[in-house]
Structure 1
Amino acid sequence: MTWTELVMAAAPMKGEQPAVSDVRTGEVLSYTAFARRVIRAAAGLRAQGLRYGDQVLVNLPLGASLPLAVHSVAWAGGVAVLSATGSARMMIAQDHYDPAAVKVDQVFAFRPTPGARSFTELLTAGAVEFGPLAGPALTLDGIRLFDNLELAADLRELATRLVIGKDDVVLSAVSEPFRGLRLIDLAMTAGAHVVVAHEPSLVGCRVLAHERRATVVVAPYDLAKKLLGNPVLRVVDERAVVSSLGL
């Protein structure tokens, strides 16, 4: 089973239950919606000219849109580059980008953006039922490439160390997009619900954990240390979700 297949595997069982909730925007993405949009957006990217191995700049904040965009690119056979600058076949952004900082053929955005087409246009070209079995899928800097098989194997290994169950509610208070993406991957593989908080304070974390009935919180070391001691909340240092990749 490949990287994106692992992340989508719980969709038939979880259905319309929430996969990712974004505290900042209020968006809630269900398991069914995630899987459906990934395979459709992948078809849209291919229809717009994306070929195996082509790079796509992905400049999105942590939230429901980030895993959707990254896995759509990977499922289409492309390589997602987590960067706001550089050269690539295409770019996926939130609501702005700097034309002087990128060299791309097309830009797709989740919100109305001058010079960009809507990401929703990609969802009308059919579906890619089977993604690539191997090959590069993700890079942070355009130099070190993470392979589909490497990301899948690491996700399985993570699942044995940072055990998350299908009934867990995971509060993501991580400070960096790739760590946040890996946490969402891990939680969705287990069928859990991820609540993305955007660099909250100690008080904010405690309030959100109570309001959302969180059972796990993943946060930067200093914040995680202060959250220890809650008997119903398992606290994880965010570095643990990428340590096995040497990051």
Structure 2
Amino acid sequence: MGGRTTHPVTHSGACLPTRPLPSVGAMTGWTEAVLLRAAALGPRVAVTEAAGGATLTYGTLAVRAPLAAQGLRRRGLRPGDPVVVLLRGGCHLPVAGYAVLAAGGVVVSIPGGPAAAGARIMITDRDDADAIAQESNIRQVYSFTGVPGTAGFDSLFGADGPVAPTARLSTARLVAADDVALVAGADLRAYDMVLGAGARLVAAHEPDPAECRRIIAGHGVTLLIDERLRVVPVRAHDRALEANL
């Protein structure tokens, strides 16, 4: 692929240099399409963390995930290899998840399980990362938060510079671009549903009903994605809460 490019915008508002999407291995068509759309959306907010208010823009996702994918490939990740991703839902999860997918890897969330057999790489912010790695015979561990014994996730970026493809993704789905979706968990498939639609995702960690109401009101949430990946409009969710009170 090649052709058109766009200028993504950083958190500071500065334009980044552009190049076509790098070749990083066995990226699926869907993963590529999500990242292309992310680049086109630029400074639009993709993820907001309900606790603390940290945000991730689509443009930042479009830059960081392909660069990290290149780093993973340079460090030996092969198409089909499992990569353990142990992160809470929030701004870091989609960057890590799409980096693995863009590199042709398979995201798994349970170290030591059958799906993780043969995994040599883990991305996590857990304090017990070193113990998990030793128990599961994982050789490379990357962290966003500087966990002792791990390498910084940013070390995957190398010196290649950011990239920014542009394209349009138009597919009928249950989430619309103007939706604000609450996701209370770390299932990358839920992030895929929201970010693939170009919508905004509000990430929360196991909120109780009262906290859900506060998040819905404070962020203008229009729908929720539950643990079964069902899309629940806010009005239907409110009726269910009222029925249980």
Using structure 2 for the length normalisation, give the TM-score: 0.70
Return 5+ residue gaps in structure 1 as ranges: 130-155, 232-247
- Give the root-mean-square deviation of aligned CA atoms: 2.8
Deviations 1:159-213 (A, max 9, x none): 53x2x2211111123x4x33xx222111111110000111111111111111101
Q: Does 1:55 align with 2:55?
A: no
Q: Which amino acid aligns with 2:236?
A: L
Question: Hey, what does 2:8 align to over in structure 1?
Answer: none
The alignment-based identity, stated in percent, is 35
Checking the alignment, whether the CA contact within 8 Å between 2:50 and 2:215 is kept in structure 1 is: no
Matched-pair contact (CA < 8 Å) for 2:221–2:234:
no
1:24 paired to 2:35:
no
Tell me the amino acid that sits aligned with residue 94 of structure 1: D
Determine whether 1:188 maps to 2:199. Answer: no
CA contact (8 A) 1:63 1:196 kept: yes
Give the greater-gyration-radius structure (CA). Answer: 2
**d(CA) in 2 for partners of 1:185, 1:226:** 20
How far apart are the structure 2 equivalents of 1:15 and 1:73?
21
More displaced 10-residue stretch of structure 1: 88-97 or 199-208: 88-97
1:72-112 deviation digits (Å, cap 9, x = unpaired): 11111222222234541211111431244221221111111
1:131-142 → structure 2 map (5 Å cutoff):
none
The question of 1:199 aligning with 2:210 is answered no
Following TM superposition, the consecutive aligned residue runs of length 4 or more in structure 1 with deviations greater than 4 angstroms are 224-227
Q: 2 CA distance for matches of 1:128 and 1:212?
A: 30
Q: Secondary structure at the match of 1:45?
A: helix
Q: Once structures 1 and 2 are overlaid, which stretch shifts more, 106-115 or 10-19?
A: 10-19
Is the 2:143–2:151 contact (alpha carbons within 8 Å) kept by the matching residues of 1? yes
Greater per-residue strand proportion: 1
**Cα pair 1:47 1:125 within 8 Å, conserved:** no
Residues 121-145 of structure 1 deviation map (CA, whole Å, 9 limit, x = unaligned):
011253798xxxxxxxxxxxxxxxx
Distance 1:70 1:220 in 2: 18
Structure-2 separation of matches of 1:128 and 1:13: 14
Does residue 169 in structure 1 map to residue 203 in structure 2?
no
CA separation in 2, counterparts of 1:225 and 1:193? Answer: 15
Give, as a single letter, the amino acid of the residue that structure 2 aligns with 1:213. Answer: G
Displacement of 1:218:
2.5
Query: Unmatched 5+ residue regions in structure 2?
Result: 1-27, 164-170, 240-245
Residue type at the aligned position of 2:212: C
Q: 1:56 to 1:220 in 2, by over 3 A?
A: closer
Deviation track 1:10-34 (CA, whole Å, cap 9, x = no partner) reads 2243211110112235321100000
Name which of 101, 114, 131 aligns with 2:135: 101
Figure out how many residues of one structure are paired with residues of the other and give that number.
Answer: 196
Structure 1 match to 2:153: 119
- What residue number does 2:40 align with? 13
Q: Distance in 2 between matches of 1:230 and 1:52?
A: 43
- Residues 1:62 and 1:167: Cα distance change in structure 2 (over 3 Å): same
